[in-house]
């Protein structure tokens, strides 16, 4: 039995996986690593030169030799500054390149998820993974692994030179180092926990904000602003507390480090001064050692922070890789890529449940012949929308057979199958962009002329050209500046330009005002001409032209047939629905 890896081992595996994302940029990775190696000894040359200046030239009053060393010092300083710039810039470029690729990978991955993932996962959570968490991974490269390597190399080189210069001063300077290491370790562990809390809270906040802003209309209609604000204040308070915890640890850590380094410097100066008087330590060494000490303590102080930055990047990468490892992708097992469908659709003993055995559809059977129109009616929750979700393969049925043109629907390539279908929903979703882009969905194979021609056929051209900019009118998010009828007409044009062989209308007229209904009805008649169509509707008057009607009740087909035949059944389900709706319409017309 394999032992479960510890958290450190897990972090190491995560680190390996993050670094593997930089594989396409090996030259950048090698370049930054090489500069990290060069910067370590280069940084230590300066205090060594200061020591040489004092001992061999200033004390000896050798101005010519001092000038030569000063010139070398300036060259070394400029070279170190230039390499530091290159190191910082290239490590940042590397991090951004990896982040860019990860964003694309995540977005493509999310695009392939089946709808059950979005049913269970808040949109804000996916947004956090794609933006905030991926951006945090950048710190693994810009402030993490390579910079930590550079700091470690600097530590070892500085310690080596310090011991070579004066073992006594080095040992004295290091007497306080155990306290520094202990403080750094405690700080690292505390901030690590606070960073994890910060990532959790920001994910909660993003999810809440996305949901509340998207539903702002409902919030304001029902005067729920106070309750919404109360909830936001609570989430914001917890997010602020998580950040303040990390601020507290930083506020305590840095003064502690300053006290420890000051104590070390004091001990070193006291012992060094005695050494200079006793001629066991040179004046140059005494002047150079504070610089060495700063170069030693500063990386140790920063290393604790960089380890936390690295850990924060690994926490974010764990979330990102968990998303990438999610197997909620749609099954794309089919190979058939039809250029056209005849449109024969058969459901044979189909059963489906969203969870477990809580069946939403039970032994559903029906057949639609090519070019025919079938209407599905029934109460809310009877399974109407589930049927069209299965036809589009948003979900996979558990048993039975769904076939198109005599072939199991699972044999078709998913994208190729959906390309031959069009779905018009009750709640029309429009994207930010022009009317034209919302119709052709930025598909360059669909020309402006084709869009205009389809709009004229549907009856949408007249209102579109009256918009400021016509087809180039910029639609606001979700089409907020357009009426329900206008949005619906645009969705009909969208369906028509893609030339589907199977058309599905899901409550496409339920929210339309009477003035727009005649236009929409004409658009529907244009759309369904010579193609297989499925219409879900509550208004029975709009589906009387259908070739057959399917009546659903609690996930089962209770009645089916041509509308005129179903109306002849005195106790039939469709007859009862029709009569009830007719009575309601008549009562409204009479003012009852």
Residues 102, 231: one domain? yes
pLDDT at site 585:
45
DSSP string computed for 387-408: HHHHHTTSS--SEEEEEETTEE
Question: Does a structural domain hold residue 330?
Answer: no
Q: Rounded to two decimals, what is the model's pTM?
A: 0.66
Stated as kind and residue range, the H or E segment containing 458 is helix 448-458
Residues 399, 449: one domain? no
**Six-digit token pair at 169?**
């001063």
pLDDT at site 590:
45
Question: Does a structural domain hold residue 547?
Answer: yes
Residues 434, 469: one domain? yes
pLDDT at site 391:
92
Question: Does a structural domain hold residue 481?
Answer: yes
Residues 137, 233: one domain? yes
Residues 389, 431: one domain? no
The CATH number of the domain where 460 resides is what? Answer: 3.40.50.300
Between CA 575 and CA 437 the distance in angstroms is: 43
| Domain-terminating residue out of 290, 324, 358 | 324
For 265, other C-beta atoms within 10 Å of its C-beta total 17
Start-to-end CA distance of the chain, whole Å, equals 76
Residues 304, 433: one domain? no
Residues 283, 374: one domain? no
Question: Does a structural domain hold residue 293?
Answer: yes
pLDDT at site 7:
42
| Domain-terminating residue out of 324, 349, 371 | 324
Helices 26-52, 63-111: inter-axial angle, 10-degree rounding: 160
pLDDT at site 289:
77
Question: Does a structural domain hold residue 521?
Answer: no
Question: Does a structural domain hold residue 332?
Answer: no
pLDDT at site 582:
63
| Domain range enclosing 153 | 7-324
Spell out the residues 6+ positions from residue 231 whose beta carbon is closer than 8 angstroms to its own: 208
Residues 153, 292: one domain? yes
Residues 231, 346: one domain? no
Question: Does a structural domain hold residue 516?
Answer: no
Question: What is the mean pLDDT, run by run of 10 residues, along the chain of 592 residues?
Answer: 40 82 87 83 79 75 78 87 87 87 88 75 76 82 78 82 80 80 79 78 83 79 82 90 84 82 80 73 75 76 74 82 77 81 94 89 94 90 90 89 94 89 84 89 89 88 91 82 83 88 80 62 76 85 85 92 89 84 51 48
Residues 56, 141: one domain? yes
pLDDT at site 348:
95
Question: Does a structural domain hold residue 146?
Answer: yes
**Six-digit token pair at 107?**
């977005």
Residues 360, 435: one domain? no
Stated as kind and residue range, the H or E segment containing 359 is strand 359-368
| Domain-terminating residue out of 298, 324, 350 | 324
Residues 316, 197: one domain? yes
pLDDT at site 28:
87
pLDDT at site 512:
58
3-class state of residue 506 by DSSP: strand
The CATH number of the domain where 113 resides is what? Answer: 1.20.1560.10
Stated as kind and residue range, the H or E segment containing 227 is helix 225-277
How many structural domains does the chain have? 3
């Amino acid at each position: 039995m394999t032992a479960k890896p510890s958290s450190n081992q897990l972090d190491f595996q995560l680190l390996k996986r993050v670094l593997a994302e930089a594989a396409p940029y090996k030259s950048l990775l090698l370049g930054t690593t090489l500069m990290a190696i060069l910067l370590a000894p280069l940084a230590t040359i300066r205090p060594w030169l200061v020591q040489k200046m004092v001992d061999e030239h200033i004390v000896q009053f050798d101005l010519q030799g001092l000038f030569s060393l000063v010139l070398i010092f300036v060259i070394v300083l400029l070279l170190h500054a230039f390499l530091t710039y290159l190191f910082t810039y290239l490590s940042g470029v590397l991090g951004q390149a990896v982040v860019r690729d990860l964003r694309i990978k995540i977005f493509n991955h999310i695009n392939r998820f089946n709808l059950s993932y979005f049913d269970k996962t808040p949109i804000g959570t996916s947004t956090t993974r794609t933006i905030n968490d991926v951006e945090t991974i950048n710190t693994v490269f810009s402030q993490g692994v390579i910079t930590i390597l550079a700091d470690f190399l600097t530590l070892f080189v500085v310690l080596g030179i310090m011991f070579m210069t004066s073992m006594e001063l080095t040992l004295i300077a290091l007497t306080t180092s155990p306290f520094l290491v202990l403080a750094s370790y405690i700080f690292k562990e505390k901030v690590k926990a606070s960073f994890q809390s910060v990532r959790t809270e920001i994910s909660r906040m993003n999810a809440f904000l996305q949901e509340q802003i998207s539903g702002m209309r409902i919030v304001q209609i029902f005067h729920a602003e106070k309750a919404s604000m109360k909830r936001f204040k609570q989430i914001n308070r917890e997010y602020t507390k998580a950040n303040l915890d990390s601020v507290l640890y930083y506020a305590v850590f840095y003064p502690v480090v300053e006290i420890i380094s000051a104590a070390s410097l004091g001990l070193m100066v006291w012992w060094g001064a005695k050494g200079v008087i006793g001629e066991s330590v040179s004046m140059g060494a005494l002047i150079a050692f504070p610089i060495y000490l700063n170069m030693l303590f500063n990386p140790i102080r920063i290393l604790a922070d960089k380890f936390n930055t690295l850990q924060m990047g690994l926490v974010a990468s764990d979330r990102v890789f968990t998303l990438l490892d999610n197997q909620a992708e749609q099954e794309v097992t089919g190979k058939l890529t039809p250029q056209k469908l005849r449109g024969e659709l058969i459901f044979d003993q189909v059963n489906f449940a969203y969870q477990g055995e809580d069946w939403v559809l039970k032994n559903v059977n029906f057949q639609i012949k090519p070019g025919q129109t079938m209407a599905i009616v029934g109460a809310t929750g009877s399974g109407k929308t589930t049927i069209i979700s299965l036809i589009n393969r948003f979900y996979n049925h558990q048993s039975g057979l769904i076939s198109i043109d005599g072939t199991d629907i699972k044999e078709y390539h998913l994208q190729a199958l959906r390309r031959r279908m069009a779905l018009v929903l009750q709640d029309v979703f429009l994207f930010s962009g022009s009317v034209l882009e919302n119709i052709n969905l930025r598909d360059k194979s669909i020309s402006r002329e084709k869009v205009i021609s389809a709009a004229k056929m549907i009856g949408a051209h007249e209102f579109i050209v009256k918009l400021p900019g016509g087809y180039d009118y910029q639609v606001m998010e979700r089409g907020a500046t357009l009426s329900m009828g206008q949005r619906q007409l645009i969705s009909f044009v969208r369906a028509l330009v893609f030339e589907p062989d199977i058309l599905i209308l899901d409550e496409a007229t339920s929210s339309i005002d009477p003035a727009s209904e005649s236009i929409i009805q004409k658009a529907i008649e244009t759309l369904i001409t010579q193609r297989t169509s499925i219409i879900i509707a509550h208004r029975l008057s709009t589906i009387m032209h259908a070739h057959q009607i399917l009546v659903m009740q609690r996930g089962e087909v209770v009645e089916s047939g041509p509308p005129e035949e179903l109306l002849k059944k005195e106790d039939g389900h469709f007859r009862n629905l029709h009569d009830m709706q007719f009575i309601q319409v008549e009562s409204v017309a009479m003012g009852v």
